[in-house]
Amino acid sequence: MMQLLDLGDVQLHYRVDGDPGGAPLVFANSLGTDMRLWDAILPLLPRTGLRIIRFDKRGHGLSSLPRAPYKMGTLVRDAELLLDHLGVTDSLFVGLSIGGMIAQGLAVKRPDLIRAMVLSNTGAKIGTADLWADRIATVDAHGIEPLADAVMERWFSRAFRASPELALWRNMLVRQPAEGYSGCSAAIAGADFYTTTASLRLPTLGIAGSEDGSTPADLVRETVDLIPGSQFHLIRGAGHLPCVENPAEFALALGRFIAGTGHLRETDDRGNT
């Protein structure tokens, strides 16, 4: 069921699926997408033992549109307040791209909220200040449409770009509010988690796509290597959104990580643990 949480400066759209008594599994999506990014993954996960939480970042999807720019600390705080509202502790947090940056920030700020995390197609730092300044200037002046074709090339493999499905994701991108895209771009531009992520000590899985033009596999590997004992999984032939291009392999890697961290919570028919 779709719900809104009023945090004062933003109304955050979120959804909870799965087992009400299950272990919390939280998904945070990428720049320019909404929570539908994960739709193909959910049916491939265990049907019991997981309480699945998704949300739209501020300025994206059905969340409200505060005035840009945003700071990464604000996006981390949004996720923090949502999980506190839902009574979540010890979650397994899956973040893709900017969602992975939110995961890194939240794991440092509130280690009680995250016991394990998946950093998918992300980095401790993504891009340069000049790159993001140019992108923000374009979006503020002309909207997202002028960037859309180049973004599709970075997001998806050549094979996927030749499929009819590409239009769905291009439409999703250009229909995000321009100010939300610009605001979250500013948050990425100002974020550098190399020092803080290196202080983390929690089970971590990095997932990368071999054809990712936004956060190359080497960046993802470099980032998770900051955390001792981390794992890394490369999905060959996929781009920036491997959960879209190859949901079966993504779900298999995630499922193995869930099992390996003992994150499934057994419940009875009444939802009691």
Q: Which residue has the higher pLDDT, 265 or 30?
A: 30
Tokens at residue 135, please?
């992108």
Longest C-alpha distance within the chain, in Å? Answer: 55
Is 25 part of a structural domain of the chain? Answer: yes
Query: What domain range is 101 assigned to?
Result: 2-260
Is 265 part of a structural domain of the chain? Answer: no
Is 233 part of a structural domain of the chain? Answer: yes
> pTM of the full predicted structure?
0.96
Strand order in the sheet with 204-209: 2-6, 11-18, 50-55, 23-28, 91-96, 114-120, 204-209, 231-235
For 170-220, what is each residue's pLDDT tens digit? 999 999 999 999 999 999 999 999 999 999 999 999 999 999 999 999 999
Is 269 part of a structural domain of the chain? Answer: no
If pLDDT is split at 50, 70 and 90, which confidence band does 269 have? very low
Is 176 part of a structural domain of the chain? Answer: yes
Is 207 part of a structural domain of the chain? Answer: yes
Q: Please compute the mean of the pLDDT values over residues 69-94 and round it to a whole number.
A: 98
Q: What is the CATH number of the domain that holds 190?
A: 3.40.50.1820
User: Is the pLDDT at 270 greater than 80, yes or no?
Assistant: no
Contacts of 26 (CB under 8 A, 6+ apart): 53, 54, 79, 83, 88, 91, 92, 93, 94
The total number of structural domains in the chain stands at: 1
Is 268 part of a structural domain of the chain? Answer: no
Tokens at residue 223, please?
């980032």
Q: Please compute the mean of the pLDDT values over residues 56-76 and round it to a whole number.
A: 98
Is 57 part of a structural domain of the chain? Answer: yes
- 45-59, 78-92, 128-142, 257-271: the lowest-pLDDT one: 257-271
